[in-house]
Amino acid sequence: MALLSARRRWQLAGVAGLVTVIGAGITVVGAHAENADVFSADFESGSTSAWSKSGGTWSIVSDGSKALSQTSANSANAREFAGDTTWTNYTVSAKVKPLTLGTDGFVGLLARSKSSTTFYRLALLPGQVQLQAVNSGAVTVLATSKQTVTPGTWYTLSITTSGTTISGSVNGTSIGSGSSSVAAAGRIGLQTANSTARFDDVTVSTGSTSTTPTTPPVSTTTSKPVTTTTSAPVTTTSAPVTTTTSGSSTPVSGAIYVAPTGSASAAGTVSAPTTLATAITKVAAGGTIYLRGGTYSLSATQTIAVGNNGTASALKTISAYPGEKPVLDFSAQSVSDSNRGLALNGNYWQLYGFTVQKAGDNGIAVGGSHNTIERVVTAFNRDSGLQMSRVSSATAKADWPNNNLVVSSESHDNADPDGEDADGFAAKLTVGPNNVFQYDVSHNNIDDGWDLFSKPDTGPISPVTIEDSLSYNNGTLTSGTVNASGDRNGFKLGGSDIAVNNLVKRNVAYNNGHHGFTYNSNPGSMTIASNLSIDNAERNFAFDEGTSTFTSNTSCRFKVSGSNDKISGTADSSNQFYSGSNGSRCAPYSGALAWSWDTAGKLTTTFGGKAVTF
């Protein structure tokens, strides 16, 4: 289990009686106790700062005591999330009061929220309660109980996750359980759909046998403001962010220590650190490798081999040591397809808080599954900074990388010699289901910010989710270098006329060298919702064909003339596309771009100091 506000992993085992007050009304506890509450929120402080809103109208109200209220009856998807994406086995409980319950609506509690559309849900519906597995929005009912749900009545909902067994109860009475592998880990959440409700007394508890992730919390990491010129090429005046800094905390016991001066024959202790390559082969499931600060001058790919796996309840972790800045530098590598920096081919790993730079190909190549990559920077590599694709041509399609999460990470200034291939983030060519990018930033890469390309030889990739992320200045390096033959898009969402139904929500594309968001010959039925696209060189939204659904997107132009947006599919009046003049929603976005992450890892993008809201 993890400490909430830092959204990272603190070890419960071995920490007796630790109590940290994150903010008034929110308490996180770590102890040896059986079924210890490790998180609680009663909202008495009036603050929701530890929660991340997605849709709806939320506020703190008085209902005997303070409670969190959602009052938009017309919102089809109102959610609040809290906690850590690596939480695994736990019980989350909450008091829930439906106020209005639409005929097609529900009020629910979420567990293991891997993304905003993948989680387990215990839902109060008219006349019944359902325990559901939700996978990219698709619902599988695990258990159902017929019972009257009365608006204005408080219910205590609980979900328990234990491996692949998911169970639910209402007012202490079980409604059943089921087996599912949709989400191995994730945050907690509160949700309404076409309904209004109040929530109170949210708790998360874990028994003594639960395995707790082990990476410590981090402090806020903030980029400097980004300013641009109006002439081509566009360059950024701010220095790139190349490291993240972990906050002070007590390191976990039993960790393996790695240092730039480490020796392969050393024990891997604080006083006798080993090498990363050696530590990777020695760390056990549930164990942690700490990277001490400094620059690691490396020439060989650091490989987490196929079969070197953690488990769903005991991830293997590579983390920056608290308060230090490790940089894995592969300048010694020549340009070659085989010269990756870090090859993550195992399953159930978490990478946290370090930089990978100047590799001869990808900075990080992800061929494994069920991995979490957080607060990691990939920069100045000689192909895409971070790329998901199969390990080799012999890899079965069922083993293509799947269920990976890249969160609160940055990729910039990646450039291949031809200037046509190096993207910031790529999930392309051979990618399995349920890969998610969230709160990520891609900028000043020579090709695209994101690339979701498919090719005929291997067929369609599985749908990819990109949400709450930022892509800017792609096609132009921070040095001012431009390759005119590069694609230079913010979000490139396909290729080769192969249909893939990607999900793209609440993202910002700004000042990229070609399109902001482009279908790139993907004729599928994508979901393109609540995105903002500004001053991209050609089109802000470029969708020439397909049956995608567009809702609540905004397109603006201030300094770059470009072309009118082109849309194919279903687009209702909630969209504000550019067709020669700006709409009313553009007014707040004329200022300079800046961005930052808060301590929970949530990305905030601002223009002229005004935060983008969706």
In this predicted model, what pLDDT tens digit does every residue of 56-92 receive, in sequence order?
A: 899 999 998 899 999 998 877 889 999 888 899 999 9
User: Which residue in 358, 492, 566, 602 is the catalytic one?
Assistant: 492
pLDDT at 36: 55
Q: What is the CA radius of gyration of the chain?
A: 23
Res 2 pLDDT > 60:
no
pLDDT at 8 over 80: no
Predicted local confidence at residue 1, as pLDDT: 29
pLDDT at residue 103 in the model: 80
Residue in 534, 384, 357 with CA at minimum distance from that of residue 452: 384
Residues 69/103, Cβ–Cβ less than 8 Å: no
pLDDT at position 479 over 50: yes
Q: According to the model, what pLDDT value does residue 218 have?
A: 34
pLDDT at 23 over 60: no
- The per-residue pLDDT of the chain, averaged, comes to 87
- Give me the mean pLDDT over the 279-304 stretch: 97
Pair 462, 434: CB distance under 8 Å? yes
Q: What is the per-residue burial (b if ≥16 Cβ within 10 Å, else e) of 479-492? A: eeebbeebbbbbbb
| pLDDT, position 212 | 33
Q: Which residues of 219-255 are buried (b: 16+ CB within 10 A; e: fewer)?
A: eebebebbebeeeeebbbeeebbbbbbbeebebbeeb
Q: Ranked by mean pLDDT, which of 9-13, 243-247, 298-302 comes out on top?
A: 298-302
- CATH code at 2-206: 2.60.120.560
Q: What is the pLDDT of residue 321?
A: 96
Residue 243: band (very low, low, confident or very high) from pLDDT cuts 50, 70, 90: very low
pLDDT of 262? 97
Q: Taking a C-beta distance cutoff of 8 angstroms, is the pair 256, 282 a contact?
A: yes
146 as an active site residue: the answer is: no
- pLDDT given for residue 257 in this prediction: 98
* Residue 187 pLDDT grade (very low, low, confident, very high; cuts 50, 70, 90): very high
User: How much is the average pLDDT of 608-612?
Assistant: 94
Q: Tell the CATH superfamily of the 334-611 domain.
A: Single-stranded right-handed beta-helix, Pectin lyase-like (2.160.20.10)
The pLDDT value given to residue 226: 53
pLDDT mean over 134-151: 87
pLDDT-based confidence at 39, cuts 50/70/90? confident
pLDDT, average across residues 19-41: 45
Say what the pLDDT of residue 219 is. Answer: 33
Every domain of the chain with CATH number 2.60.120.560 lies at 2-206
pLDDT reported for residue 207: 56
pLDDT at 210 exceeding the cut of 60? no
pLDDT at 490 over 60: yes
The proportion of the chain whose per-residue pLDDT surpasses 70, expressed as a percent, equals: 87
Q: Confidence class of residue 485 from pLDDT cuts 50, 70 and 90?
A: confident
Give the residue, 218 or 310, on which the prediction is more confident.
310
Please check the confidence at residue 452 and state whether its pLDDT lies above 70. yes
pLDDT digits (tens, 9 = 90+) for 304-360: 999 999 999 999 999 999 999 999 999 999 999 999 999 999 999 999 999 999 999
| Residue-level pLDDT at 116 | 82
Contact 613, 603 (CB under 8 A): no
Mean pLDDT of 498-527: 97
Residues contacting residue 28 through CB under 8 Å, at least 6 positions apart: 3, 4, 5, 19, 20, 21, 22, 38, 39
pLDDT in the model for residue 37: 62
| ∠ Cα 69 71 74 (to 5°) | 145
DSSP E strand boundaries for 45-181: 52-54, 58-63, 65-70, 78-82, 90-115, 118-125, 128-135, 138-146, 155-162, 165-170, 173-179
**Sheet strands side by side (includes 527-529):** 256-258, 288-291, 316-320, 349-352, 372-374, 405-407, 435-438, 464-467, 503-505, 527-529, 548-551, 569-571
pLDDT recorded at residue 438: 97
